[in-house]
C-alpha cells in the first residue's frame, strides 16, 4: 500500500530537549516536504526536498532542520524545541502535483 | 510570499444543501489544487486544475480554475455528514529556478448538520 508514515504520532516534550520526527514514504517520490498546521494559520511549509541531498527552506524554517540522505526518508529535527513549536506536523511526498500526506504528529513542547 | 485568501473561514449547513467556497490570490497560479482534511487525518487531494477556465468534477464536487488565473472555486452539491472537514486550496509557487513549493490557503471548516 502506497503511504507516508510518521513517527511518533504524539509527543510531549520539554523545552530544549532535542527531538526527531521521522517520515518515510514507499512511493519512490523525489519531492518531500514538512508542514506545520496551527489554528487560523492553515498549513505552512517548513522545509522541502527536491531529491536526495537537496533541501530548501519553506515559509517557516526557523528552529527546524531536515536531512535527506536517502529518497524514502525525510526526518524533521528540532535541536532545541520551544513552546511556540507546539503544533500539528505533517510530512508529505509528491508526484505529479499530488501531495500524499502522512497521518500527522501532534507535538507539545512544555 | 504569495498568499491564498480562502473564504469563508467556516460554514454551518444542513444536510442536503449545496456548498460553495473560493480561493483568491493577487498573483497568477498555473495550477490550483483542492484538498480535504478529515478530523485527525492528513489532507487528501480532491481535485487538481491545470488550465484557466477548466471545470472539473469529482462525484458531488466541482471545481473551477478562474479565467484570470487568480482564483478558484469549489462547490459541493447535496452535502452529506461525511463532507465535514477542512477544505484547503493550494497552488505551487516558484521558489527559484525550477524549484517550487506548495502554498496553502487557511482552509474552510465545513460542518454539516444531519
Each residue's pLDDT tens digit, B36-86: 999 888 999 999 999 999 999 999 999 999 999 999 999 999 999 999 999
Q: How far is B42 from chain A (nearest CA, A)?
A: 5
Place of cell 506548495: B102
CB of A101 within 8 Å of a chain B CB? The answer is yes
Instruction: Give the confidence band of B87 by pLDDT, cuts at 50, 70, 90.
Output: very high
Q: Which of B101, B105, B107, B108 to mutate to test the interface with A (most CBs of A within 10 A)?
A: B101
CB of A102 within 8 Å of a chain B CB? The answer is yes
Q: How many CA atoms lie within 13 A of B87 on its CB side?
A: 28
What are A37-76's pLDDT values in tens digits? 998 888 999 999 999 999 999 889 999 999 999 999 999 9
**Phi–psi pair at B81, nearest 5 degrees:** -55, -35
> From A90, which residue of chain B is nearest by alpha-carbon distance?
B42
In whole angstroms, give the CA distance from residue B59 to residue B62. Answer: 8
C-alpha cell at A79: 535541536
DSSP assignment, residue B51? S
Instruction: Give the confidence band of B98 by pLDDT, cuts at 50, 70, 90.
Output: low
Q: How far is B110 from chain A (nearest CA, A)?
A: 14
Q: In this predicted structure, what is the pLDDT of residue B60?
A: 97
Q: In this predicted structure, what is the pLDDT of residue A59?
A: 87
Contact present, A64 and A88 (Cβ < 8 Å): no
In whole angstroms, give the CA distance from residue B35 to residue B54. Answer: 17
Contact present, B7 and B106 (Cβ < 8 Å): no
Q: In this predicted structure, what is the pLDDT of residue B101?
A: 76
Q: Hey, which residues 26-85 in chain A have their CB within 8 Å of chain B?
A: 33, 35, 40-45, 48, 50, 56, 58-59
Q: How far is A41 from chain B (nearest CA, A)?
A: 5
Say how many CB pairs under 8 Å bridge A and B.
56
Residue B97 pLDDT greater than 70, yes or no: no
Amino acid at each position: 500500500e502506497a503511504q507516508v508514515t510518521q513517527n511518533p504520532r504524539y509527543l510531549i516534550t520539554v523545552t530544549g530537549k532535542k527531538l526527531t520526527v521521522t517520515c518515510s514514504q514507499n512511493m519512490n517520490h523525489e519531492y518531500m516536504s514538512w508542514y506545520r498546521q496551527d489554528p487560523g494559520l492553515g498549513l505552512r511549509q517548513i522545509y522541502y526536498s527536491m531529491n536526495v541531498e537537496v533541501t530548501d527552506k519553506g515559509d517557516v524554517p526557523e528552529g527546524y532542520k531536515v536531512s535527506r540522505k536517502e529518497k524514502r526518508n525525510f526526518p524533521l529535527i528540532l535541536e532545541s524545541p520551544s513552546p511556540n513549536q507546539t503544533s500539528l506536523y505533517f510530512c508529505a511526498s509528491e508526484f505529479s502535483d499530488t501531495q500524499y500526506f502522512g497521518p500527522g504528529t501532534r507535538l507539545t513542547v512544555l | 510570499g504569495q498568499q491564498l485568501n480562502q473564504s469563508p473561514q467556516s460554514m454551518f449547513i444542513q444536510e442536503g444543501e449545496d456548498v460553495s467556497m473560493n480561493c483568491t490570490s493577487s498573483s497568477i497560479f498555473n495550477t490550483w489544487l483542492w484538498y480535504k482534511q478529515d478530523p485527525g487525518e492528513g489532507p487528501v487531494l480532491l481535485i487538481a486544475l491545470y488550465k484557466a477556465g477548466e471545470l472539473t468534477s469529482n462525484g458531488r464536487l466541482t471545481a473551477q480554475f478562474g479565467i484570470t488565473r487568480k482564483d478558484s472555486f469549489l462547490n459541493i452539491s447535496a452535502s452529506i455528514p461525511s463532507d465535514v472537514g477542512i477544505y484547503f486550496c493550494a497552488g505551487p509557487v516558484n521558489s527559484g529556478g525550477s524549484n517550487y513549493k506548495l502554498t496553502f490557503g487557511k482552509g474552510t471548516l465545513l460542518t454539516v448538520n444531519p
